[in-house]
């Protein structure tokens, strides 16, 4: 459970840390190297954006550096240790979603014409103030984090009791989130308010929570009961990326079809329309497939096969297929997004995000494209950021965005926990008392 922080350093910053920068040959491939104590760094790395992962004890204790000549080439193919690269994907997925959420927050309820008038012809291109701060996240990231927490608590519970329910622990986590929004859980539910996320006071903030989520959680009869409504809003799909990560990490236990089912069931806790939860299952499965080495287009085609076996899949299938088709069309991106919709409903939010990732040539371009439209900008930005981070890690995230997005350090930490949890030596048979105590305090098995 090391507290890892992703940073991007320029040469001046490295010199200020007394880390020498030297001229020597760098193979034209992605590098992975461990640094034990102070070490030198090849200057060529700095030309392409050095990424460091620093342990909580500091760079001089232990760290790793990563660099890429092409941010769009998979490191798995060119020299990274797989474990290092997959950790970057996990961090990139959750952090990219948070950055996209914060990027869209200031313009969520604005028309595209108003966005262009206020921010220029390219749309919004940097963080702007929302909820009284620059880089503020919304309910999208809040609920994504509580989804992650539910999954980790399910794992801890299984380690100590031998039985667990991912869906039940996710439902319980959503009730904790519901209480952070100033509401009281239904009396029939025994909700515990403890653990790592509950202690984060910044999460006890109302950031335009969706009415469907609030009403469904107010009426929840059990932690696994599907919502009794007919909503297909995007409040289900925008929060399930961690399910794709978790299921892939346990792919000896979860097939991509299992991942789809859990993603759909988690969304169905609040959104009862088939399109609302099928789009969510599709998104979780797309993340799973990306982690398994698929391109986004290939992941989408695989998920379309799964969708084709489901009842009432037509709306979701059509939107995903249309997004792929439009990505090959020369029409301006804003016109294609208009054709796909505004993102307030699940299949539109997913389709817009897929289209934008397929079209964008950089993370910066993705952020502007995915939020500068009529509609639910923070949700499309969040989903697009999740997908981009899963595909490419965090290598081309601008340093200032990483540093300024709200809860960056906590998001990094929980993303690393989501990658590391299968390796934790915890449970009834573990002799590691300290780690057992940490796990049960951080992610109590409820």
Q: b or e along 172-204 (b: 16 or more beta carbons within 10 Å of the residue's beta carbon)?
A: bbbbbbbbbbeeebeeeeebeeebbbbeeeebe
Q: How many CA atoms lie within 13 A of 244 on its CB side?
A: 32
Number of residues written out for the chain:
446
> Annotation-wise, does 101 bind a ligand?
no
DSSP annotation string for 23-57: -----SS-EEEEE-SS--EEHHHHHT--EEEE-TT
139 marked ligand binding residue? yes
Phi-psi label, residue 276: left if phi above 0, alpha if psi -120 to 50, beta otherwise: alpha
105 in helix, strand or coil?
Answer: helix
Listed residue (96, 98, 116) closest to 107, CA to CA:
116
Question: Has 379 been labeled as part of a binding site?
Answer: yes
Please say whether the beta carbons of 67 and 31 come within 8 A. yes
Q: Are 131 and 181 in contact (CB under 8 A)?
A: no
Is 396 assigned a ligand-binding role in the annotation?
no
Q: Is 222 annotated as a binding residue?
A: no
Spatial distance between the Cα atoms of 256 and 259, rounded to a whole number of angstroms: 5
C-alpha 276/C-alpha 430 separation (Å) is 41
Return the DSSP state at 233.
B
Q: Find out whether 376 is annotated in a ligand binding site.
A: yes
- Residues 205, 131: contact at Cβ < 8 Å? yes
Rounded distance between C-alpha atoms, residue 348 and residue 236, angstroms: 12
Which residue ranges are tagged as binding site for Mg(2+)? 138-140, 376, 378-379
Which residue ranges are tagged as binding site? 138-140, 376, 378-379
């Amino acid at each position: 459970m090391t507290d890892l922080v992703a940073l991007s350093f320029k040469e001046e910053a490295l010199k200020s840390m007394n880390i020498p920068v030297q001229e020597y040959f760098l193979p034209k491939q992605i590098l992975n190297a461990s640094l034990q104590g102070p070490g030198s760094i090849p200057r060529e790395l700095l030309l392409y954006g050095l990424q460091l992962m620093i342990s909580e004890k500091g760079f001089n204790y232990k760290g790793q550096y990563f660099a890429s000549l092409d941010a769009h080439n998979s490191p798995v193919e060119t020299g990274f240790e797989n474990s290092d690269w997959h950790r970057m994907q996990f961090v990139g997925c959750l952090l990219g979603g948070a950055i996209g959420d914060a990027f869209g927050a200031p313009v969520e309820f604005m028309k595209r014409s108003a966005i262009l008038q206020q921010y220029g012809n390219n749309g919004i291109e940097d963080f702007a103030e929302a909820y009284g701060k620059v880089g503020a996240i919304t309910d999208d990231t809040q609920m994504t984090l509580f989804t992650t927490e539910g999954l980790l608590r399910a794992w801890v519970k299984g380690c100590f009791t031998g039985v667990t329910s991912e869906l039940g622990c996710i439902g319980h986590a959503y009730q904790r989130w519901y209480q952070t929004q100033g509401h009281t859980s239904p009396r029939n539910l025994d909700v515990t308010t403890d653990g790592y996320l509950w202690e984060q006071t910044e999460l006890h903030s109302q950031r335009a929570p969706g009415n469907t989520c609030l009403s469904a959680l107010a009426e929840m009869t059990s932690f696994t009961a599907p919502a009794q409504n007919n909503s297909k809003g995007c409040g289900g799909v925008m929060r399930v990326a961690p399910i794709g990560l978790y299921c892939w990490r346990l792919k000896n236990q979860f097939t991509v079809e299992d991942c789809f089912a859990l993603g759909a069931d988690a969304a169905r806790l609040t959104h009862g329309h088939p399109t609302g939860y099928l789009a969510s299952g599709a998104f979780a499965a797309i993340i799973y497939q990306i982690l398994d080495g698929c391109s986004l287009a290939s992941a989408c085609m695989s998920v379309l096969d799964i969708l084709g076996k489901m009842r009432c899949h037509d709306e979701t299938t059509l939107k995903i297929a249309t997004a792929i088709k439009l990505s090959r069309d020369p029409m301006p991106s804003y016109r294609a997004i208009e054709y796909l919709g505004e993102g307030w409903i699940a299949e539109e939010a997913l389709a817009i995000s897929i289209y934008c990732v397929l079209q964008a040539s950089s993370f910066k371009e993705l952020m502007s494209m995915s939020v500068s439209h009529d509609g639910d900008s923070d949700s499309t930005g969040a989903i697009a950021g999740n997908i981009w981070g899963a595909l490419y890690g965090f290598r081309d995230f601008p340093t200032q965005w990483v540093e300024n997005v709200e809860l960056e350090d906590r998001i990094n930490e929980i993303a690393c926990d989501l990658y590391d949890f299968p390796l934790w030596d915890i449970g009834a048979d573990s002799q590691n008392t300290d780690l057992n105590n940490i796990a049960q305090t951080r992610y109590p098995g409820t």
